[in-house]
Amino acid sequence: MKCFKKYYRKVRIWNLQANLVIIALWILFMPNFTPLKTTADNIFEVSLNGTVVGTLGNKADAQKCLRDARRVIASQSEELVMAKADLTVAGSKALWGKVDDKSDVTEKMIEILSGSVITTLERSYTLKINTYSINLSCIEDVLELLKSSLSKYDTESQYDVNLVLDPSREVNVLTTQVATTGEIEKEEEAKNGLPQSGYNEFLATIVGDVAPTTEEKSFEDYELGLQSIDFGDKIEIVEAYMPQEEISDLDTAIAEVTKDKETNQIYEVQSGDTLGTIAEKFGLSLQELIDMNDAIESETSLIRVEDEIVVTVPEPELSVVYSAQEYYEEDYEAEVQYVDNDSWYTTESKVIQEPSAGHRRVVALKSYENDKELSTEIEKEEVTYAAVPKIIERGTIVPPTYIKPISGGRLSSGFGRRTSPTKGASSFHKGVDWATPVGTAVMASSSGVVTRAGWGSGYGYVVYVSHSDGRQTRYGHLSKILVKVGQSVSQGEKIALSGNTGVSTGPHLHFEILIGGTQVNPLDYLN
């Protein structure tokens, strides 16, 4: 028994010594396995974009590794790089655990980020024109594009474009400032604190002291050509980062912004216009003009002065407004003169003097938007020989109007030749008939004086009314007359009741309008 106990003690000592040796070797050769605090999650598995990249002792180390990896990726390009970086850190509790070296974790993150690069964003400038926008690679391209829009009209390069901060915006947004090249140079000198010097300063003083002359200018005194120019649209320029494929090269951008595009506009019909002349004016075929206007059904559709119709006008994306002083000689027409005649109707007129054109020399300030002339202001005019105006005598009295003499009724017989008339009736119908029940109210078609009211042979009971424009209306086949000869009646006033008297095949109203004693088609004169 004593031997057994002695042997047991030796075994325990050997076991303890072996354990100590093992621990020493583990500490010596396995430094990444460390004792961990057990009060909370104390070891963290780190994943990036769904791939495990290692195990670390805390979340802060994982975040630092990601920052270091991103820094390396960013350093590989001069521009902004976007890459997917979905970091996941899962914690757990353990007594002992293997913690990876942070540099190894960072290297694995770099490898994953390199394969997850979405795109490289390049610095660019977005030029916005109203709601349209285009991206350019540098500010020099923006300026070149803007200058190309002006150069079509500023052929001598008198003006230049500056980019300035837009005072109406709180963020850093640039807008345009167009000025003469001389003005821009002076502004640059003022910014740099450079005063005018020597002769230029002396000359500026002299010019500033000269009082403006009141003597009338001769044609040679006017400075012809471009007087002002600017952009007609709101322009904004902002710095941005864009994928390369979304950035336009300069030539493409210039073509896109300056080329004419078809734009719908409203045109107000002028005196003398026809559908054909309007289509020709805007470079359209007649069918194209008809197709874009629902109210125009065909080439024979009627249009009136001041009607509004849709046309297409070629316009660039960026409009330019400018004014130019121009000299020209032209034949001109004097304004038409009118002589009012208070005894004539407004439908009557007579030319009492034929016109002839005059000739003049002119300096005028003209305003344009692109190629469209907006206004003309004559600065100086010299008439070589005066135009003779056209003089027209015209009436001032508004002529009477004519209305249908009954309400309702069915048109049963029109004006003109007819076949198989009622026995005793003419084969040429001198009015129109409306079938209507006996006793329907008959009204005066226009104001006038009753000249006949009674029996009229084939008309049966009939009423004649004479009107101030010399016309006469007749109402036949009446059942009852409600007016007397010499009585004045107003338009719409009841003068009789319809019937079936005289030569008639049924209850109706026969109605005539006579001009110069001759019947005309009443339907052509009713409002």
What is the pLDDT at residue 441?
A: 96
> Is residue 398 within 8 Å of residue 446, measured between CB atoms?
no
Pick the CATH number of 410-524 from 3.40.50.300, 2.70.70.10, 3.40.830.10, 2.40.50.100: 2.70.70.10
Q: Quick one: average pLDDT of 360-389?
A: 94
Three-class secondary structure of residue 72 per DSSP: helix
If you average pLDDT over every residue of the chain, what do you get?
Answer: 85
Q: Quick one: average pLDDT of 353-380?
A: 94
CA angle 378, 213, 323 (to 5 degrees): 30
Which of 411, 423, 415, 463 lies closest to 442 in space, CA to CA?
463
Residue 69 pLDDT grade (very low, low, confident, very high; cuts 50, 70, 90): very high
Cα separation of 341 and 394, whole Å? Answer: 6
DSSP 8-state secondary structure symbol assigned to residue 137: S
Query: Going along 246-348, which residue ranges are E strands?
Result: 260-268, 308-316, 320-332, 337-345
Cα separation of 401 and 261, whole Å? Answer: 49
Q: Quick one: average pLDDT of 138-156?
A: 93
Which of 315, 370, 135 lies closest to 236 in space, CA to CA?
135
Q: Quick one: average pLDDT of 270-285?
A: 87
Query: pLDDT (tens digit, 9 = 90+) per residue, 474-522?
Result: 999 999 999 999 999 999 999 999 999 998 889 999 999 999 999 999 9
What is the pLDDT at residue 225?
A: 94
DSSP 8-state secondary structure symbol assigned to residue 523: G
Which of 351, 334, 453, 349 lies closest to 386 in space, CA to CA?
334
For residue 22, which phi and psi values (nearest 5 degrees)? -60, -45
In this model, does residue 95 exceed pLDDT 80? Answer: no
What is the pLDDT at residue 31?
A: 47
Query: In the numeric block, which tokens belong to residue 292?
Result: 């874009």
Q: Quick one: average pLDDT of 329-358?
A: 93
Q: Quick one: average pLDDT of 151-164?
A: 92
DSSP 8-state secondary structure symbol assigned to residue 356: B
Q: Quick one: average pLDDT of 448-475?
A: 94
3-state SS of 403-432 is CCCCCCCEEEECCEECCCCCCCCCCEECCE
Query: pLDDT (tens digit, 9 = 90+) per residue, 382-424?
Result: 999 999 999 999 999 988 999 999 999 999 888 988 765 555 5
CATH class of 321-397: mainly beta
End-to-end CA distance of the chain: 144
Query: pLDDT (tens digit, 9 = 90+) per residue, 232-256?
Result: 999 999 998 888 888 999 999 999 8
Cα separation of 404 and 402, whole Å? Answer: 7
Sign, CA torsion 230/235/239/240: negative
In this model, does residue 4 exceed pLDDT 50? Answer: no
Residue 527 pLDDT grade (very low, low, confident, very high; cuts 50, 70, 90): confident
Q: What is the pTM of this model?
A: 0.52
What is the strand order of the sheet 320-332 is part of?
Answer: 225-231, 320-332, 358-369, 372-385
Write down the architecture of domain 260-316 according to CATH.
Roll (3.10)
> What is the percentage of the chain residues whose pLDDT exceeds 70?
84
In this model, does residue 199 exceed pLDDT 70? Answer: no
Q: Of 379-383, 393-397, 423-427, 523-527, where does mean pLDDT reach its minimum?
A: 423-427
What is the pLDDT at residue 419?
A: 66
3-state SS of 74-121 is HHCCCCEEEECCCEEEEEECCCEEECCCHHHHHHHHHHHHHCCEEEEE
> Is residue 434 within 8 Å of residue 412, measured between CB atoms?
yes
What is the pLDDT at residue 204?
A: 52
What is the pLDDT at residue 476?
A: 96
Query: pLDDT (tens digit, 9 = 90+) per residue, 35-50?
Result: 545 556 788 999 999 9
